Amino acid sequence: MDRLSELASLIDRYAPEHGSAPTALPRLHLARMEKPTDPMHILQEPALCIAAQGRKQMILGDRLYSYEPSHYLLVSADLPVVGCVMEASPEKPYLGMRLDLSPAALAALMLEMDGNGKASDAPGSGILMSPLTEPLLDAAIRLVRLLDDPASAPILAPLIEREIHYRLLIGDQAIRLRQIALADSKFNQVNRAISWIKQNYARPFRIETVAAEARMSPSSLHEHFKAVTAMSPLQYQKQIRLQEARRLIVGEAVDAATAAHRVGYDSPSQFSREYNRLFGAPPIRDAERLRAAPEASAAV
């Protein structure tokens, strides 16, 4: 059995049913999909994603990323993305894992590495892809295998997660990834803007306000924000608003008008138009569709 088949076998064991499977390790998430899924809008936090079997697609703005077993996908910022499983069947399901990353762990490792390596000053896309190396795959297998040993998992899982962070810091995407750990990098300035928008998404804002929070000029913020997120700060705010409204309507059975008001829309008609444009259906019909297929929300 090759190493990817070994990882697929482990995920198959711990995700035996169609959909997402929680694990005993808080940062580790597994998924099994037995058919291609409809596009699902999610706010993805920093994470390492590996498809052990099948193929998945992620869209950020106008950028499309397709990842399969030979590559890993790295999300380095909080990004509103659209994900869908492209190749899956009952006989050969999509089997994937996601490990949530820790910027604090990356920063601590960089200090221990004595500044070994450089970070790029110009931030690139917040989604990165690279070939899956043997050492990284080996660490991923050992992490999932810990689910067989619940007594040892609390002690060993943090060590393996630390190794995975290290493997990423010395891998193909090291220059980009190191930006996460540098307080004065352009990437972290954009991250400050992202955090501010997430906390204040329901309030109107001027670009000058967000730029001041990021400690950048408005023109510099716009340039670097779009490089990372593939959208402007206002477009990012709109995505966050609509995704939160969708959560309220589907998850808490809030009516569309109330949801629109809560996320900052003054005009219900404008909210309905923009909701329909993003999700492909008006709020009520979209909610009915999601409740009929809850497994489509799997984000691994």
DSSP 61-128: TTEEEEE-TTEEEEE-S-EEEEEEEEE--SSS-EEEEEEE--HHHHHHHHHHTTT-S---SS---SEE
Q: Are 297 and 42 in contact (CB under 8 A)?
A: yes
Provide the pLDDT confidence category of residue 124 given band limits of 50, 70 and 90.
Answer: confident
Per-residue pLDDT, 123: 73
Share of residues in the chain with pLDDT > 90 (%): 72
**Fold (topology level) of 235-297:** Arc Repressor Mutant, subunit A (1.10.10)
In tens, the pLDDT along 129-178 reads 999 999 999 999 999 999 999 999 999 999 999 999 999 999 888 877 87
Q: What is the pLDDT of residue 295?
A: 58
Written as six digits, the tokens of 248 are 């309220």
pLDDT at residue 119, as a whole number: 56
Residues 64-79: what's their mean pLDDT?
A: 92
Span 18-48, pLDDT tens digits: 998 889 999 999 999 999 998 889 999 999 9
Q: What is d(CA 268, CA 219) in angstroms, rounded to the nearest whole number?
A: 32
Distances (CA, A) of 138 to 2, 3, 13, 74, 144: 11, 7, 18, 17, 10
Q: Is the pLDDT of residue 296 over 60?
A: no
Query: Which of 122 and 7 is assigned the larger pLDDT?
Result: 7
Q: Per CATH, which fold does 186-231 belong to?
A: Arc Repressor Mutant, subunit A (1.10.10)
The phi-psi region of residue 54 (left if phi > 0; otherwise alpha if psi is between -120 and 50; otherwise beta) is: left
Q: What is the pTM of this model?
A: 0.89
- Asked whether residue 120 carries a pLDDT value surpassing 90, the answer given is no
Alpha-carbon distance 232 to 116, whole Å?
A: 33
What is the predicted pLDDT for the residue at 122? 67
Task: Give the model's confidence band at 300: pLDDT under 50 very low, under 70 low, under 90 confident, else very high.
Answer: low
pLDDT of 121 > 60? The answer is yes
Q: What is the mean pLDDT of residues 188-205?
A: 93
Residue recorded with tokens 């089997």: 95
Tens of pLDDT, residue by residue over 216-236, are 999 999 999 999 999 999 999
Of residues 227 and 117, the one with the higher pLDDT is 227
Query: For 88-107, what is each residue's pLDDT tens digit?
Result: 999 999 999 999 998 888 88
Fold match, 3-181 / 235-297? no
Determine contact, residues 22/81, Cβ cutoff 8 Å: no
Contact 55, 85 (CB under 8 A): yes
The pLDDT score that the predictor gives to residue 1 is 55
- Position 177 scores a pLDDT of 80
Q: To the nearest whole percent, how much of the chain has pLDDT over 70?
A: 93
Q: What is the mean pLDDT of residues 181-203?
A: 88
- What is the average pLDDT across 270-280? 94
Burial of 245-270, coded b for 16+ CB within 10 Å and e otherwise, reads: bbebbbeeebebeebbeebbbeeeee
To which CATH superfamily is domain 3-181 assigned?
A: Jelly Rolls (2.60.120.10)
Q: Domain-by-domain residue ranges, the chain?
A: 3-181, 186-231, 235-297
- Total residue count of the chain as it appears in this document: 300
Q: Is the pLDDT of residue 297 over 70?
A: no
User: Is pLDDT of 116 > 60?
Assistant: no
